[in-house]
Structure 1
Amino acid sequence: MNFLSHYYFDRHTSNCYHVLGTVLPDLLKNADKSIILHPEKHHYPDGDTHHIYNGWLKHLEIDRHFHNSDFFKTHSHQLKLELREVISGSPVKPFFLGHIAIELILDSLLLTTGRVKADDFYDHLSSCDHQSINEFLAVSGMTEPEVFSRFFDKFRTERYLHTYADASKVAYALKRICMRIWPSPFTPEQEAAMTNVIINYRNKTSETFMEVFDEIERALV
């Protein structure tokens, strides 16, 4: 799941460090895909680092339920098939596109239906200070936490998740993710076709997308 989908499950919490923990694994991958941490191998005392750790564990649990769900398997596969038709010749693997596309579509739908507010999510992140974050990262084995700090400050300043409310921006976000691996993943024509696929698929799932959130919520109890 993407950032706002993870936030959905803790949208009522008052602890900003827990919220940070629920999205930190993905934030770290975005900051530097070579960063690999295993917090479960370390000890975090009571306080901010412990809240980050608990959020981290919840992130892993939610992803496990999501990727094992029929919803994810069905829709990522269907999106793979539909996107494969419009990216012929692209180096991007269709299964990768299908996986990421359904996660971005879910974030978009949460925003446009008012089930989460991007500003609330960003306000939580803005309340977290670097000292506690760096302490967590250092205990987890990261030797250069400033790499993450620079990315994190930019992430919470730009607040680009607001753009997901526009379905056409979802396709753009998908392209940007692909560009981390493939410098020139799509032609302009492919981008336009992908946008149509994303918009149509988002409309098609708008009435049923909450099923997977309800399923995961039951599993978390």
Structure 2
Amino acid sequence: MNFLSHFYFDRDTTNCYHTLGTVLPDLLKNADKTIIIHPEKLTHPNTKINDIILGWRKHLEVDRYFHSSHFFITRSSELRKLLTPAVKGSPVKPFFIGHIALELILDNLLLTTDKVSVDNFYNHLHSCDLDTIKQFLNFSGVAETDKFFRFYENFKKSRYLETYADTQQISYALKRICMRIWDDPFTIEHEGRMNAVLSVYRDGLYNNFMSIFDEIDIKLKA
């Protein structure tokens, strides 16, 4: 799941460090894909650092339920098939874009139906002390943190997740993600064709997209 979908499950928490932990795996991956850590196996005497660890564990749990769900397997396969002709000639693998496109559509739907608040999400991130985050990273085995913090500060400042409310921006967000792997993933024509597919698919998902969140919520509380 993407940032806002992870935030959905803890949207009512007042603990900014837990919220940060639920999205930190993706933040780190976006900042530097060479960073591989497993803090979910650790505990720390500092309550705030341990809250980040607990949030990290929650992230892994949510992703595990999501990626093994019938909803994900079926819907990502449908999107893959629909997007394959739209990206003909692109180096991007259809399976990859089917997976990522579904996650971006879910974030879009959460925003446009007011299930989550972008302001609340960013307020949580701004409330976290940077030194505490650095202590967590060092404790988890990340010695060099400058690259992460440059990305993190820009992530907070740009408020990029606000653009997810615009359905026409989904293909652009997908392009940005693909650019981490491929230099020129899509042409303007590719983006136009993807927009057409994603808009129709998003509208078709509108009435029952919450089923996956309800399903995961039940499993989390079991």
Taking structure 2 as the reference length, what is the TM-score of the superposition?
0.98
Aligned to 1:143: 143
1:81 is matched with 81
Q: Determine the C-alpha separation between the residues in 2 that align with 1:111 and 1:218.
A: 22
The alignment of Structure 1 onto Structure 2 pairs a total of residues equal to 221
One-letter code of the match for 1:115?
Answer: K
Aligned residue identity for 1:92: V
CA contact (8 A) 1:42 1:139 kept: no
Paired amino acid for 1:129? D
The Cα offsets for residues 73-124 of structure 1, whole Å up to 9 and x where unpaired, read as: 0110000000001111110000000000000000000000000011100000
Check if 1:37 corresponds to 2:37.
yes
1:124 maps to 2:124:
yes
Alignment of 1:45-56 (within 5 A): 45-56=45-56
Structure 2 distance, partners of 1:152, 1:190, is 30
Q: Is there any run of 5+ residues in structure 2 with no aligned partner, and where?
A: none
Q: Which amino acid aligns with 2:147?
A: V
User: Alignment identity in percent?
Assistant: 58
Equivalent residue number for residue 166 of structure 2: 166
Aligned partners of 2:114 and 2:40: how far apart in 1? 34
TM-score by length of 1: 0.98
Which is further off, 172-181 or 36-45? 36-45
Paired amino acid for 1:201: Y
Residue identity in the other structure for 1:66: F
User: Equivalent residue for 1:99?
Assistant: 99
The structural deviation recorded for 1:187 is: 1.5
User: In structure 2, what residue type is equivalent to 1:34?
Assistant: T
- Give the match's secondary structure for 1:86: helix
Counterpart check, 1:220 vs 2:217: no
- Work out the CA distance in 2 between the residues paired with 1:41 and 1:214: 27
Partner SS, residue 12 of structure 1? coil
> Per-residue deviation at 1:43?
3.0
Counterpart Cα distance in 1 of 2:10 and 2:127:
16
Deviations 1:22-42 (A, max 9, x none): 000000000011111111343
Letter aligned with residue 106 of structure 2:
L
Q: Once the 2 structures are TM-superposed, how far is the Cα of residue 186 of structure 1 from its aligned partner?
A: 1.1
> Aligned partners of 2:54, 2:33: CA distance in 1, in Å?
22
Report the equivalent of 2:152. 152
2:208: which partner in 1?
Answer: 208
Q: After TM superposition, which residue ranges in structure 1, 4 or more long, deviate above 2 angstroms?
A: 40-43
Aligned equivalents of 1:40 and 1:184: distance in 2? 35
User: 1: distance between equivalents of 2:170 and 2:19?
Assistant: 23
Cα RMSD over matched residues? 0.8
Task: State how far apart, in whole Å, the 1-side matches of 2:173 and 2:183 are.
Answer: 14
Q: Is the 8 A contact 2:106 2:209 kept in 1?
A: yes
Q: Distance in 1 between matches of 2:148 and 2:90?
A: 31
